[in-house]
């Protein structure tokens, strides 16, 4: 969950969405001049990026690669941050599955979101930004968590029946934030850097 005033942590690990042996389809150079690219999503802030793999390395889809400072085993360097529209077709298809995978792996962080979610304005609550959660379900979660914090996403589902698949709900919200550069409220992602003239 994004907190104001504190700079977001730099991504250290990313999950591979796709390996592009001939780089980006936007690259108009002849094939022999193109270098392989890896499209990936950061594990922490869901930053979408193009990565340059080390010579001879072909990382598998959904594999976790180190992109932080220090010795990297598979990735040579981060080429740049990209927008959702710059993802290849394969990466776009893979993204929803990878988002759920990241949520399951870091479940504690997302359970904390449900335990700590609060109003954003006098009329809007963080929980209402999640797809499929309206006022009625929001109040059901708020009232139920007064009995004790949730320990897992499964427990949330068991205690509040209307939340059928919390990880899918979260993944759908993250997906919305990644697709819309100008979305008003960001719960889990970092806003892209827009060109200065916008």
Domain-terminating residue out of 82, 104, 126: 104
Mind giving me the DSSP string for 144-159?
A: HHTT---SSHHHHHHH
pLDDT tens readout for residues 14-71 = 999 999 998 877 777 777 677 899 999 999 999 999 999 999 999 999 999 999 888 8
State residue 72's pLDDT score: 86
Domain-terminating residue out of 104, 133, 167: 104
Burial 61-99 (b: 16+ CB within 10 A, else e): beebbebeeeebebbeebbeebebebbbeebbebbeebb
State residue 139's pLDDT score: 96
What's 120's DSSP letter? S
Statement to judge: residues 22 and 44 lie in one domain: yes
Q: Which residue segment(s) compose the domain that 143 sits in?
A: 106-179
Length of the chain equals: 198
Statement to judge: residues 88 and 157 lie in one domain: no
State residue 164's pLDDT score: 86
Statement to judge: residues 20 and 33 lie in one domain: yes
Classify residue 180 as left (phi > 0), alpha (psi -120 to 50) or beta. beta
Residue 18 included in any domain: yes
**pLDDT, averaged across the chain:** 90
Statement to judge: residues 84 and 99 lie in one domain: yes
Statement to judge: residues 110 and 138 lie in one domain: yes
- Give the chain's domain count: 2
Locate 103 and state its tokens.
Answer: 């949520």
What is this structure's pTM? 0.89
Residue 60 included in any domain: yes
pLDDT tens readout for residues 185-195 = 999 999 876 55
Closest CA to 41 of 130, 172, 169, 174: 174
């Amino acid at each position: 969950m994004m907190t104001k005033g504190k700079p977001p942590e730099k991504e250290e690990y990313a999950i591979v969405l796709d390996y592009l042996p001939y780089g980006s389809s936007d690259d108009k150079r002849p094939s022999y001049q193109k270098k392989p690219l890896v499209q990936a999503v950061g594990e922490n802030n869901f930053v979408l990026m193009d990565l340059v793999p080390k010579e001879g390395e072909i990382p598998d889809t959904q594999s976790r690669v180190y992109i932080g400072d220090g010795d990297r085993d598979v990735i040579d360097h981060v080429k740049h941050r990209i927008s959702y529209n710059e993802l290849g077709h394969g990466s776009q298809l893979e993204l929803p599955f990878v988002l759920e995978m990241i949520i399951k792996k870091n479940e504690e962080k997302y359970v904390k979101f449900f335990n700590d979610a609060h109003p954003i304005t006098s009329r809007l609550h963080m929980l209402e930004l999640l797809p499929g959660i309206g006022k009625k379900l929001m109040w059901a979660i708020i009232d139920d968590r007064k009995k004790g914090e949730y320990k897992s996403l499964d427990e949330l589902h068991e205690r509040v029946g209307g939340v059928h698949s919390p990880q899918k709900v979260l993944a759908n919200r993250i997906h919305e934030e990644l697709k819309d550069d100008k979305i008003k409220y960001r719960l889990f992602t970092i806003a892209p850097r827009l060109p200065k003239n916008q």
